[in-house]
Structure 1
């Protein structure tokens, strides 16, 4: 369980050193143990000098956060202040005891007694004087890093001990790393390739749609990017950034591939994902490389299979070459023709639907105003029509 401390006045959140340090202290001592499955975090918002008519929030935020507002009277917003630190510390117990009063749609699973006991034990280690507070402040940066790493570890531990049904199809993966990419941009390339093939393999996820892969020189550094998100799940792996920057393109590609694979295998293990599908995609990319031909979408009738295919360019600034591939299902003859060069970010505006009408393949763009403006700016048509007989001549 993590506890976040914020101070608010007139709905504006602003930093307060003493309360930030309290946030760090609480999470140093309370992250790592399991306190029930309902909430992953208690968010305490202190409302400074509230009006007498103020109504305090007690609610669920983002499905797994207990948000609790309490009145506060903190005076020093810029400098370390032992009075503010201890005042906030002794209000935390009140917030913990309010968790059970939050209205829920399902039964509460929250170990209040266990969390209160751990909180009381943590108080024994709390700074008592301004000198002790300043000493603790000197190691805050490292403590915060360790807290985030523990929070990420706890999230993975929760998933491992509490398997959930695979209910949502994967939409995308994203990859982040601290080094600045040049062309070829392997972060971009592998993001596109893995997203496409995992999506086409119909990989299912437990309640979320996106996988966020974070790479860094150490796992502790990578886990600094951990952010609880109901729409996605974080995965982590290491990459030697200095070696990566100094390497040739082939080595860079292999390093990025291996790091992404490591992260995917990790999340497959702790979230019980479909290992056979993910390993199949990994094997396909390993065999065919980054020039692998991808399918954007396809349509089939009793005579033909029509597919829009492309390869990922070396940079997000470069347009991708899109082609139409038509297979005659009776003769198994295959013909391919160019459609256009289109940026992958904007291509959904040009590829809204594909249909086979008699002996023609029709690709229509989306009909929204934004799509029309985008196509007009790139001088792209609203639709593409290809005569199948002409293709097979």
Structure 2
């Protein structure tokens, strides 16, 4: 269970208590790595110092999966580290845990109170008891906080592994982030675009979310600092040697980036029970053909023709991608390609709203929205592209 300790002093208007920040770290060090029910992923305890006589204390659900609990406190020093405030807060935590079951819910409560209380009571034995011990704990706080967040990421993956969910949503994108200052070629950008396209075309399905965020860093603990509890996305992690990467030639950089991304994809495939054969087929295609490959944006087919909008990913997000129209005559199998335009990949959805095959032409229309119109106007792009079929097959 994750804990979040907040503080508000109604007299001084301060919202930070130095000692309670360490309490937050301590609780998560001992409790964040274990599952205590599906109703809440976090217990937020907000201590109220010097409350007014009319203060009503919150006891509610926050953001669907956080138990928000306010408790009155009697803290002596907000700015200076002191063991009295730390222990005062520590000994109120049990009360907060026991209040969780009294929160009004719209569904049945799934909360392992006894298990959490037992774990909390065991953790108290390791709590700092003197100012010297608290100061020693403070010196390692940064490292402990990083470890705590990595434990939370591990718990999320462990829960997914042990609790398979149906694959209900199509993958839309993957995003790749790494602590790297890339110029051209920007390999994280290139692989983001190539993997996203091919995984979409492979019709990869995901359990309740549509976006995968891949975080790369020198260590897994560092990568997991980017973890964000969010039902709408899922995070995956992998290692990349940033010093070696920055010192390498472009081919080595590309291989390093590819291998790290593949490691993360295989990890999430395992713990989230994804369609391994589809993901491995995409990995194999990129490994064999590289990133300078022809990608399909969308297509349309009738009895006579197949029309496809195709493109290749540029070396940088600052460079426009060359989009082409490829038309196949299904009777003669003749194939012709003509240029559409050079368009930035971020804005191209505004230009490619639909594609239709008319009697004598292929028509590509942009999206019909005010934002789309402004974007096309800014980039001096037309609202639609019309290609005469007879001109294409000259």
**Structure 2 residue aligned with 1:124:** 125
Question: Superposition pairs for residues 339-358 of structure 1, below 5 Å?
Answer: 339-358=340-359
Q: Residue 294 of structure 2 corresponds to which residue in structure 1?
A: 293
Q: Structure 2: how far apart are the matches of 1:49 and 1:303?
A: 79
Task: Give yes or no for contact 1:316–1:344 (8 Å, CA) kept in 2.
Answer: yes
Rounded to whole Å, the distance in 1 between the matches of 2:290 and 2:114 is 54
| Residues 150 and 73 of structure 1, relative CA distance in 2, 3 Å threshold | same
Report if aligned partners of 2:8, 2:16 keep a CA contact under 8 Å in 1: no
More displaced 10-residue stretch of structure 1: 351-360 or 13-22: 13-22
Tell me if structure 2 keeps the 8 A contact 1:6–1:13. no
The alpha carbon displacement at 1:74 in A equals 3.9
User: 1:213: Cα distance to partner?
Assistant: 0.6
How many residues matched?
Answer: 392
1:5 is aligned to 5
Moved more, 281-290 or 257-266: 281-290
Could you tell me which residue of structure 1 aligns to residue 266 of structure 2?
Answer: 265
1:370 aligns with 2:394: no
Q: State the distance in 2 between where 1:125 and 1:318 align.
A: 56
Task: Provide, for residues 186-241 of structure 1, a one-character-per-residue CA deviation record: whole Å limited to 9, x for no partner.
Answer: 01111111111112222111111111111111111111111111111111111111
Change (3 A) 1:385 1:377: same
Shift of 1:183: 0.8
Deviates more, 1:265-274 or 1:223-232: 223-232
Name the residue aligned to 1:327.
Answer: 328
What is the distance in 2 between the residues matched to 1:377 and 1:75?
A: 59
Q: Is the 8 A contact 2:17 2:78 kept in 1?
A: yes
Residue 51 (structure 1) shift:
3.8
Rate the CA distance shift 1:105–1:292 in 2: closer, same or farther, 3 A.
Answer: farther
Q: Does 1:228 align with 2:245?
A: no
- Report deviation, 1:346: 1.0
Q: Please give the TM-score of this superposition, normalised by the length of structure 2.
A: 0.95
Partner SS state of residue 296, structure 2: strand
Cα deviation digits, residues 65-108 of structure 1 (max 9, x gap): 32323334445333313222122212211221122122333322
- Structure 1: how far apart are the matches of 2:50 and 2:63? 27
Q: How does 1:178-257 map to 2 (within 5 A)?
A: 178-257=179-258
Aligned partners of 1:304 and 1:15: how far apart in 2? Answer: 67
User: Which deviates more, 308-317 or 125-134?
Assistant: 125-134
For residues 282-316 of structure 1, what are the alpha-carbon distances to aligned partners after superposition, in whole Å with 9 as ceiling and x for unaligned? 11111111111111111122221111111111011
Q: Which residue of 2 aligns with 1:304?
A: 305
Q: Per the alignment, in what secondary structure is the counterpart of residue 95 of structure 1?
A: helix
CA distance in 1, matches of 2:181, 2:380: 31
Alpha-carbon spacing, 1:327–1:59, altered in 2? closer, same or farther (3 Å): farther
Aligned to 1:76: 77
Q: After superposition, what is the alpha-carbon deviation per residue over 1:106-132, rounded to whole angstroms, capped at 9, x for unaligned?
A: 322211001011111111211122222
**More off after superposition, 262-271 vs 26-35:** 26-35
Moved more, 81-90 or 113-122: 81-90
Q: Distance in 1 between matches of 2:169 and 2:35?
A: 26
After the TM superposition, which of the residue ranges 328-337 and 243-252 deviates more from structure 2? 328-337
Deviates more, 1:62-71 or 1:226-235: 62-71
Aligned counterpart, 2:59: 58
CA distance in 2, matches of 1:75, 1:172: 50
Rounded to whole Å, the distance in 2 between the matches of 1:120 and 1:209 is 40
TM superposition shift of 1:318? 0.5
